[in-house]
């Protein structure tokens, strides 16, 4: 009989422990099990790279400060990490949630989470059609349904159910495109605005997202965080096309966002009382970003109106970030990376408030508390 080398025994034990880690859902409560990310370009990690679409960020200098890629573009619409990336890191997820459409979104990689977000996507299916292709929230949930079946195969139905419901967080960051690239879209949406009042459009949005969140609940999700719509009237794009001064914002866009946000908060309270065993956390992104814009110097920024990467107008707010764009040298000093999206420096501040903040910005619990429930 051949002798057994000590190192081979160690290898066998290590392999058994590794398998046990995945099958038992990591076996400890030190970190989050999985982060499932739904939404738009604020949290897209590369899904649009795999679509024939006009909305893409897999070109430089996007990603210039993203350490995991060595500064190469990944499809993230910012210079570094998204809010979803930072939150996942801080909650103990060992790797970033893999984009659903990426070739490596199979097998054990999905146990850390999957990112379904898509630049141009919205709550309403018509949103973002100007980009030709994008993943709306309905399609993103269809894709999660596929992932859910993969979890059953990987862990077995019983362990998969526990892992999804108890050790995973579902984050939804969506709604801005429903205004910017649907209801408020210049020229293309004039007919819609004539035929549908703001109240009726927001009613449609709320009814859709109620059904979408309920569907995720039916698929096993229990821990949710839903971001409201930020101050979209204050982004460099809106300031530029409306020829505003540095301290001005587009009133109509912000009013629509606030109207939707009030309804969303009421909806989450309704679902918290209605869907047994679930917790819906409300992330007050609007006030959080408005605080950054209003008091930007307090947080170490030198501008909250001009895009770091972009072209056109006073605030470089017309042409999206790309190889021919003007690029600022002090990226960490800009609230906005491009005409639409926050810089990594702003994302870090936003994410930390969501992780550790009080009920002014995140309620009824913050994300560290949600993980431990």
Is the alpha carbon torsion for 270, 273, 277, 279 positive or negative?
positive
Q: Which residues are catalytic?
A: 41, 338, 341
- Lookup: tokens for 262: 């009030």
**pLDDT at residue 195, rounded to an integer:** 74
Tokens of 165: 């419901």
Question: What's the pLDDT at 190?
Answer: 55
C-alpha distances (whole Å) from 213 to each of 15, 140, 220, 283 are: 38, 12, 11, 15
The Cα 61–Cα 65 span in angstroms is 9
* Domain membership flag for residue 186: yes
Domain harbouring 232, CATH code:
3.40.50.1110
330: helix, coil or strand?
Answer: coil
Contact 37, 116 (CB under 8 A): yes
Q: pLDDT digit of tens for each residue in the chain (373 aa)? A: 344 343 443 333 333 333 433 444 443 444 688 999 999 999 999 999 999 999 999 999 999 999 999 999 999 999 999 999 999 999 999 999 999 999 999 999 999 999 999 999 999 999 999 999 999 999 999 999 999 999 999 999 999 999 999 999 999 999 999 999 999 887 555 556 667 899 999 999 999 999 999 999 999 999 999 999 999 999 999 999 999 999 999 999 999 999 999 999 999 999 999 999 999 999 999 999 999 999 999 999 999 999 999 999 999 999 999 999 999 999 999 999 999 999 999 999 999 999 999 999 999 999 999 999 9
pLDDT at site 344 = 98
pLDDT score for 8: 40
Provide the whole-model pTM. 0.91
**Dihedral sign, Cα of residue 25, residue 371, residue 70, residue 318:** positive
Helices vs strands, H then E, count in the chain: 12, 9
Rounded alpha-carbon distances, angstroms, from residue 310 to 60, 98, 319, 323:
12, 28, 6, 10
- Token digits of residue 9: 């025994």
Domain for residue 25, yes or no?
A: no
H or E segment and range at residue 277: none
Contact 351, 83 (CB under 8 A): yes
140 domain-assigned: yes
Nearest Cα neighbor of 368 from 148, 89, 58, 74 is 89
Counting the structural domains of the chain, the total is 1
The answer to whether the CB of 226 falls within 8 A of the CB of 280 is: yes
> Hey, what are 185's tokens?
């879209």
Residue 114 located in a structural domain: yes
Domain that holds residue 316: 31-370
Closest CA to 117 of 227, 222, 203: 227
First to last CA, the chain: 52
Is 24 part of a structural domain of the chain? no
Residue 76, domain member (yes or no): yes
Distance CA 41, CA 32 (A): 24
Name residue 319's beta-bridge partners.
311
CA atoms of 216 and 335, how far apart (whole Å): 33
In a domain? residue 257: yes
Residues 6+ apart with CB under 8 A from 109: 95, 98
Asked whether residue 23 is assigned to any structural domain, the reply reads: no
Instruction: Give which of 101, 109, 133 is closest to 35, Cα–Cα.
Output: 109
């Amino acid at each position: 009989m051949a002798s057994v080398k000590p190192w081979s025994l160690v290898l066998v034990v290590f392999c058994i422990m590794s398998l046990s880690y995945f099958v038992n859902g990591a076996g400890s409560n030190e970190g989050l099990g999985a982060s499932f990310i739904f939404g738009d370009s604020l949290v897209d990690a590369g899904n649009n790279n795999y679509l024939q679409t006009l909305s893409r960020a897999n070109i430089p200098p996007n990603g210039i400060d993203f350490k995991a890629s060595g500064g190469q573009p990944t499809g993230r619409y910012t210079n570094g990490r998204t809010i979803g990336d930072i939150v996942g890191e801080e909650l103990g997820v060992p790797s970033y949630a893999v984009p659903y459409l990426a070739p490596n979104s199979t097998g054990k990689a999905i146990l850390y989470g999957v990112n379904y977000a898509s630049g141009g996507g919205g709550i309403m299916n018509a949103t973002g059609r100007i980009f030709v292709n994008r993943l709306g929230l309905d399609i993103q949930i269809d894709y999660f349904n596929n992932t859910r079946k993969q979890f059953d195969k990987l862990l077995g139905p019983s362990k998969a159910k526990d892992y999804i419901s108890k050790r995973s967080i579902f984050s939804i960051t969506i709604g801005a495109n429903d205004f910017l690239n649907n209801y408020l879209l210049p020229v293309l949406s004039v007919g819609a605005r004539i035929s549908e009042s703001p109240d009726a459009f927001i009613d449609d949005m709320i009814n859709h997202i109620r059904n979408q969140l309920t569907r995720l609940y039916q698929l096993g999700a229990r821990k949710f965080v839903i971001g409201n719509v930020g101050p979209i009237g204050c982004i460099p794009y809106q300031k530029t096309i409306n020829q505003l001064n540095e301290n001005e914002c587009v009133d109509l866009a912000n009013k629509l966002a606030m109207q939707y946000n009030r309804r969303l908060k009421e909806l989450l309270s309704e679902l918290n009382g209605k869907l047994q065993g679930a917790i819906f956390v409300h992330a007050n992104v609007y006030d959080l970003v408005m605080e950054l814009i209003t008091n930007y110097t307090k947080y170490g920024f030198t501008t909250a109106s001009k895009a770091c990467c972009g072209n056109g107008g006073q605030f470089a707010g017309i042409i999206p970030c790309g190889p021919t764009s003007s690029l600022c040298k002090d990226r960490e000093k800009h609230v906005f990376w491009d005409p639409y999206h926050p810089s990594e420096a702003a994302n870090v501040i936003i994410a930390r408030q969501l992780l550790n903040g009080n009920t002014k910005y995140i309620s009824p619990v913050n994300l560290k508390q949600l993980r431990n429930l």
